[in-house]
Amino acid sequence: METAPFLVEIDNPEPDTTRLTLSGDFDYTTSGELAALTPTLMSRGLKVLEVDLNGVTFIDSSGLATLIHLFHAAEEVPAEMRFVGMTPYIAHLFEVTALDQVFNLPTSAA
């Protein structure tokens, strides 16, 4: 099976805001990359962590676990993690796992 490469883009639209743009297959084989990045993302002074999942084609339980881990890491800073991009597929997945009750989701897709 061919897979869509998993990509992580990081930029800072505001000084205290970091935006993560994820794309491709976010699964057991690729989630380690974001997990490894997590400590460096949680720099001091971080207030808002935006996560854009618009380009994510597939996400499995390892991908979800990595997002939860990211969410907890942001809580500790403390910073607010919110999702700014979402697909119906991922919104459904968040609903099945009831993570929609935990995460800050964009109102349009929630």
Interface residues with another protein (CB under 8 A) are 1-2, 28, 58, 60-62, 64-65, 68-69, 72, 75, 95-99, 101-102
**By C-beta, is 18 or 66 nearer to another protein?**
66
**By C-beta, is 17 or 24 nearer to another protein?**
24
Q: Minimum CB separation from another protein for residue 24, in Å?
A: 13
Q: Minimum CB separation from another protein for residue 76, in Å?
A: 10
**By C-beta, is 10 or 65 nearer to another protein?**
65
Tell me the C-alpha distance between 103 and 86, whole Å.
12
Q: What is the DSSP string of 8-67?
A: EEEEEEETTEEEEEEEEEESTTTHHHHHHHHHHHS-TT--EEEEEEEEEEEE-HHHHHHH
